[in-house]
């Protein structure tokens, strides 16, 4: 059934955004439990929480299932049209708190981009107090996967990152800080984690507490509209040095970073029709997914082709400062094939006629530091298609972000137009 609109108080449950639920009726009881199974507007899944009520008259007759349960039919039309579904005598327990948080998250997702940033800034300023920073300026930067701000103060210049909930665990974020800190100790010019710690902060204006990371500001310039061959070669060199470090780094106890190929077994958003993606493009993406799953069953995960990578090495995460090439934003760091870093760096360059020259420059730059992964030229086109597929899937699953809701479809279309150029 679908419950719409309204509020939750004293036995009333309703949603400003849709949530799909399943209702079951115990055959020997006048009460029934409602198990939340579906997705809220922004993609949060809530499952397994039971809520008791006795308004079974609101439902059309259902049918008996295994275990003596009666699966109720759809709610009667007048219940849906009234704007809320009654859950009288609702039992207040731990699950109710989770439901309330989910509802608050749904309401937050419906806010404008500007209002979301404004509220997250309130949380960010609280995090700065936890870090002992007294800012003179807090300027929004990007609100997409995470939310970032440029922070100025007597203590220095920083990038404050407010982590999106549900993406990285506490251990994941702490491990990212450990990896970046180890790279700095080895001489890499990567962002310095302030105090080498993560703080978790919650405020009334944001529905859930969020991990916050404060990083030293990195000076430099991003590539303009596209990479030049010279810039691409420098990225290849920097990538190779990072891969070489990761190959020989001793992972500390408790280190926890995710695998970056979860789609091998996980169901993706693109596997079902999505309003953000034209059906022809979705079928193209599903074809890439199926091809990739077959290919990955055959690829060995040897150290010469698999390890700890950056994971998101596009030109928006590389700064050029004189002769220095500075890699930033290690939020997606995880275990993957080395070629996944090449594809992240090159996928957005496919649409330009200069792509072959840019690709060759990157491979040459990498090879000047360490050998290329086995079968690089043979496998790179498939990894580029995988990158297009995974970014499109990420966009299709991010209906919680107002800007992505508005322009995500166009971004997916543009990505899919690059498939044949891979």
Q: What is the pLDDT of residues 23-46, one digit of tens each?
A: 332 333 333 233 332 222 233 233
Q: Which two tokens stand for residue 295?
A: 């290919």
* Percentage of the chain exceeding pLDDT 70: 75
C-alpha dihedral sign at 355, 357, 361, 364: positive
Q: Which of 9, 40, 203, 39 is nearest to 106 (CA)?
A: 40
CB of 19 within 8 A of CB of 5? no
Burial-class residue 150 by CB neighbours within 10 Å (0-12, 13-18, 19+): middle
pLDDT at 105: 77
Q: What is the pLDDT of residues 282-291, one digit of tens each?
A: 999 999 999 9
Q: Which two tokens stand for residue 394?
A: 């990420």
Res 164 pLDDT > 50: yes
Res 5 pLDDT > 70: no
pLDDT at 373: 98
pLDDT at 35: 30
DSSP summary character for residue 9: B
- Reported in sequence order, the residue ranges of 107-217 that DSSP labels E, i.e. its strands, are 137-143, 147-153, 156-162, 199-201, 210-216
- Beta-ladder partners of 259: 335
CB of 69 within 8 A of CB of 62? no
Res 91 pLDDT > 50: no
Res 14 pLDDT > 90: no
| CA dist., res. 387 & res. 280, Å (int) | 18
Helical axes 376-396 vs 339-346, angle rounded to 10°: 60
Summarize the confidence of residues 387-410 as an average pLDDT.
94
Res 252 pLDDT > 60: yes
Q: Burial letters for 74-111: b for 16+ Cβ neighbours within 10 Å, e otherwise? A: ebeeebbebebbbbeebeeeebbebbeebbebbbbbbe
Res 3 pLDDT > 50: no
pLDDT at 98: 56
| CA dist., res. 71 & res. 82, Å (int) | 23
| CA dist., res. 39 & res. 46, Å (int) | 7
| CA dist., res. 164 & res. 147, Å (int) | 7
At residue 101 the predicted structure's pLDDT band, cuts being 50, 70 and 90, is low
CA distances from 184 to 193, 255, 330 (A): 10, 17, 13
Q: What is the pLDDT of residues 374-393, one digit of tens each?
A: 999 999 999 999 999 999 99
pLDDT at 106: 81
**Tokens 């509209």 sit on residue:** 225
| CA dist., res. 344 & res. 341, Å (int) | 5
Report how many helices (DSSP H) and strands (DSSP E) the chain contains, helices first: 10, 17
Give Cβ neighbours of residue 150 (< 8 Å, ≥ 6 apart): 137, 138, 139, 141, 157, 158, 159, 160, 217
Domains, in order of start, for the chain: 2-109 (no CATH), 113-216 (3.30.200.20), 229-421 (3.90.1200.10)
Strand 147-153 relative to strand 156-162, pairing: antiparallel
At residue 16 the predicted structure's pLDDT band, cuts being 50, 70 and 90, is very low
Q: Burial letters for 35-58: b for 16+ Cβ neighbours within 10 Å, e otherwise? A: ebeebbbbbbebeebebbbebeeb
Q: Which of 334, 336, 337 is nearest to 380 (CA)?
A: 337
Degrees, nearest 5: CA angle 26-27-29: 65
Res 206 pLDDT > 80: yes
| CA dist., res. 311 & res. 345, Å (int) | 9
| CA dist., res. 18 & res. 11, Å (int) | 18
| 294 or 85, higher pLDDT | 294
pLDDT at 47: 32
pLDDT at 104: 67
At residue 354 the predicted structure's pLDDT band, cuts being 50, 70 and 90, is very high
- Reported in sequence order, the residue ranges of 154-269 that DSSP labels E, i.e. its strands, are 156-162, 199-201, 210-216
**Tokens 């327990």 sit on residue:** 93
pLDDT at 166: 86
């Amino acid at each position: 059934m679908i419950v719409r609109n309204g509020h939750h108080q004293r036995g009333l449950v309703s949603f400003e955004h849709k949530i799909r639920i399943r209702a079951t009726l115990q055959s020997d009881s006048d009460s029934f439990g409602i198990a939340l199974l579906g997705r809220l507007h922004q993609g949060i899944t809530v499952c397994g929480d039971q809520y008791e009520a006795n308004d079974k008259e609101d439902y059309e007759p259902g049918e008996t299932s295994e275990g003596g349960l009666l699966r109720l039919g759809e709610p009667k039309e007048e219940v849906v049209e009234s704007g809320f579904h009654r859950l009288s005598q609702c039992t207040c327990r731990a699950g109710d708190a989770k439901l309330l948080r989910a509802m608050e998250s749904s309401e937050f997702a419906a806010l404008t981009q500007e209002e979301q940033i404004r509220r997250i800034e309130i949380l960010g300023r609280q995090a700065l107090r936890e870090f002992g920073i007294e800012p003179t300026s807090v300027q929004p930067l990007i609100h997409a996967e995470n939310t970032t701000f440029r922070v100025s103060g007597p203590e220095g210049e920083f990038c404050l990152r407010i982590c999106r909930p549900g993406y990285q665990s506490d251990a994941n974020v702490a491990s990212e800080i450990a990896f970046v800190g180890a790279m700095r100790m080895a001489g890499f010019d990567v962002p310095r984690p302030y105090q080498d710690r993560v703080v978790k902060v919650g405020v009334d204006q944001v529905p859930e507490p969020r991990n916050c990371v404060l990083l030293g500001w990195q000076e430099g310039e991003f590539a303009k509209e596209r990479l030049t061959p010279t810039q691409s070669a420098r990225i290849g060199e920097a990538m190779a040095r990072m891969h070489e470090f990761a190959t020989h780094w001793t992972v500390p106890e408790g280190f926890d970073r995710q695998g970056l190929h979860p789609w091998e077994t996980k169901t993706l958003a693109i596997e079902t029709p999505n309003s953000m993606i034209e059906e022809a493009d979705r079928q193209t993406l599903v074809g890439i997914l199926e091809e990739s799953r077959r290919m990955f069953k055959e690829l060995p995960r040897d150290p010469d082709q698999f390890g700890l990578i950056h994971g998101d090495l596009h030109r928006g995460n590389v700064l050029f400062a004189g002769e220095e090439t500075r890699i930033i934003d290690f939020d997606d760091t995880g275990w993957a094939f080395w070629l996944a870093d090449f594809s992240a760096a090159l996928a957005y360059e496919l649409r330009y006629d200069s792509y072959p020259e840019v690709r060759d420059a990157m491979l040459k730059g990498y090879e000047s530091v360490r050998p290329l992964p086995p079968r690089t030229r043979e496998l790179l086109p498939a990894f580029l298609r995988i990158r297009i597929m995974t970014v499109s899937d990420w966009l299709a699953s991010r209906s919680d972000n107002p800007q992505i809701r508005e322009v995500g479809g166009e971004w997916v279309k543009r990505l899919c137009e690059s498939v044949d150029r891979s």
